[in-house]
C-alpha cells in the first residue's frame, strides 16, 4: 500500500503533464453546459446544483415535479473512473431510499438495476446510459443524455404508479 506522500508525488507528477487538468476542465464544462441546456429546455423540471465531487463522480439532480413530490430525484451522474454516464433514481434520505427499494423489489423494473440498501449506496435504481462518452462531440452527447433522461423519468413514474 502506498503512503499518502507516495500518492501525492504520483498525483503531482501526473499534473505536470497537464492531461488531468484538461480532462477535468472538459468534464466540468460539459456537465455545466448539460445542466444549463436541460434547465432551459425543460423548465418544468427541478434542477439541483452541480456537485463536482472528488474525482469519483460528478452529478446534478434533474427531476420532474411528480417525483419530487414523492421525495425522489433523478441524478445525472458521470463516474470518473469508469468514464461513463448513469442515471440514478435517488431519494431525499436513506429512510425513503430503503422504503422505495423494498417497494420496487417485487415490481418489474425492466432493464434497470435495483440497488441494495448498504453504506455508500445513494441510488434506488441505476441505469447506464453512455458507456463510452465522446466528449469531442458535446452536442451529440448532450442529446443522447437528454433523450435517456426524459425517457427514464417517464418510465420511473410509470413503474411507481
Distance CA 1, CA 145 (A): 38
How do residues 16-61 score in pLDDT, each as one tens digit? 988 999 999 999 999 999 999 999 999 999 999 999 999 999 999 9
Distance CA 96, CA 75 (A): 16
Query: Which sign, positive or negative, has the C-alpha torsion 91, 55, 45, 86?
Result: negative
Residues 155 and 118 sit within 8 Å (Cβ to Cβ)? no
* pTM over the 0.85 mark: yes
Which residues are bridge partners to 74 per DSSP?
Answer: 89
Residue 89 has φ and ψ, to the nearest 5°, of: -85, 125
Amino acid at each position: 500500500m502506498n503512503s499518502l506522500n507516495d500518492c501525492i508525488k504520483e498525483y503531482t507528477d501526473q499534473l505536470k503533464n497537464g492531461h488531468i487538468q484538461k480532462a477535468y476542465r472538459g468534464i466540468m464544462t460539459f456537465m455545466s453546459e448539460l445542466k444549463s441546456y436541460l434547465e432551459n429546455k425543460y423548465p418544468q423540471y427541478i434542477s439541483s446544483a452541480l456537485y463536482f465531487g472528488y474525482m469519483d463522480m460528478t452529478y446534478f439532480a434533474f427531476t420532474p415535479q411528480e417525483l419530487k413530490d414523492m421525495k425522489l430525484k433523478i441524478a445525472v451522474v458521470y463516474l470518473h473512473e469508469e468514464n461513463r454516464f448513469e442515471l440514478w433514481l435517488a431519494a431525499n434520505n436513506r429512510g425513503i431510499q430503503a422504503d422505495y427499494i423494498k417497494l420496487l423489489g417485487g415490481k418489474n423494473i425492466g432493464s434497470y438495476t435495483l440497488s441494495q440498501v448498504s453504506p455508500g449506496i445513494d441510488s434506488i435504481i441505476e441505469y447506464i446510459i453512455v458507456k463510452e462518452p465522446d466528449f469531442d462531440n458535446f452536442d451529440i452527447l448532450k442529446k443522447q443524455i437528454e433523450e435517456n433522461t426524459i425517457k427514464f423519468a417517464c418510465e420511473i413514474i410509470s413503474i411507481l404508479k
